[in-house]
Amino acid sequence: MLRRLFGSRDKDEAIRSTPKRVGEDTVVYAVGDIHGRAELLDRLLDKVRVDAAAWPEQRKVLIYQGDYIDRGLVSCQVIDHLIAQGDDDFERVFLRGNHEDAMLRFLETTEIGTSWKGFGGHATLYSYGVDVFGAPPDGLDPMDHIQNQLRDKVPSDHIAFLGGLELSHEEGDYFFVHAGVRPGIPLDKQYTNDMMWIRHEFLNSRQDFGKVVVHGYSIRPQPVVQSNRIEIDNGAFASGVLTALVLWDSEHSFLKTP
């Protein structure tokens, strides 16, 4: 109730002077990078449900910003959890992060294997029961052996889920994407790779992108609110802080674990 009376206190001056809206009858919950922390997702969703109960007549949209896997040791279980959701009045949007992109690439080619394992893929392999240390059959490259195991162990519904992830989503004056957008390019013409992997060119830009870009990907200890973007990756895999941005009318706030 206090949040609705007074609104968020962490808007920057530009957002104050130019209100952005998600829609008169809509409340949006955007969830930051989960990275294999299923228990944090459960706790955050409990908070989302309590908050959403205060909006009985509103359209409710739950947007997941990507990076569901890697780094956390129950990445497989996070995908199970996301697939199983749906028995409520939330509309759900699942975006593709760079870590899902890397896993899908690895299922196609081992060229990304060493890189993917190095930035968290080893945890996902573990969660699917892949033996990354066992000796491969005679004559088989170790990375090919890991790839073959993963292909055998990933359930078909996980492959369908990962393959069906969206690159972006729009709600009113907001544009939701995993990593960001390339300055100088219209939102409807953004490059696929940039939306999952861009960093400094986007983070350093003060350009008006046409909509406020909501993203994760680049870890910060607290949410970042600027005139052109809102960042909600608080490093949940290590910090224990999983964040959801709440948007309603021209207001915003945050829900967090623990």
**Domain CATH code at residue 10:** 3.60.21.10
Render pLDDT for 118-127 as a digit per residue (tens, 0 to 9): 999 999 999 9
* CB count in 10 Å sphere of residue 62: 20
Render pLDDT for 132-159 as a digit per residue (tens, 0 to 9): 988 888 878 999 999 999 999 999 999 9
Structural domains in the chain (count): 1
| Cross-strand pairs, 45 | none
- Residue 107's domain comprises 2-16+23-256
The region that residue 190 occupies, defined by phi over 0 for left and psi between -120 and 50 for alpha, beta otherwise, is: beta
Pair 75, 36: CB distance under 8 Å = yes
Collapsing DSSP states into helix, strand and coil, what is residue 128?
coil
More confident residue, 69 or 7: 69
- What is the b/e burial string over 25-42, where b = at least 16 CB atoms within 10 angstroms of the residue's CB? ebbbbbbbbbbbbbebbe
Instruction: Look up residue 139 and give its DSSP letter.
Output: T
More confident residue, 18 or 53: 53
Collapsing DSSP states into helix, strand and coil, what is residue 4?
helix
Residue 49 tokens, joined = 């449900």
| pLDDT in the model for residue 17 | 55
Indicate if the pLDDT at residue 11 is higher than 50. Answer: no
pTM: 0.91
Distance CA 194, CA 197 (A): 5
Distances 172 to 131, 169, 176 between C-alpha atoms, Å: 46, 10, 11
**DSSP-assigned letters across all residues of 211-246:** SEEEE-SS--SS-EE-SSEEE----HHHH---EEEE
Confidence of residue 258 (pLDDT cuts 50, 70, 90): confident
| pLDDT in the model for residue 14 | 45
Confidence of residue 12 (pLDDT cuts 50, 70, 90): very low
| pLDDT in the model for residue 183 | 97
Distance CA 205, CA 52 (A): 33
| pLDDT in the model for residue 7 | 43
Collapsing DSSP states into helix, strand and coil, what is residue 94?
strand
Distance CA 214, CA 232 (A): 8
Confidence of residue 22 (pLDDT cuts 50, 70, 90): very high
Using a 10 angstrom Cβ sphere, with 0-12 exposed, 13-18 middle and 19 or more buried, the burial of residue 107 is middle
Indicate if the pLDDT at residue 16 is higher than 80. Answer: no
Determine the angle formed by the axes of helices 98-108 and 156-163, rounding to 10 degrees. 120
- Cα–Cα nearest to 197, from 124, 102, 71, 121: 102
Residue 232 tokens, joined = 């909600």
Confidence of residue 87 (pLDDT cuts 50, 70, 90): confident
Mean pLDDT of the chain: 92
Longest dimension (CA), the chain: 68
14-28, 133-147, 182-196, 235-249: the lowest-pLDDT one: 14-28
Indicate if the pLDDT at residue 169 is higher than 60. Answer: yes
Residue with tokens 């895999």: 237
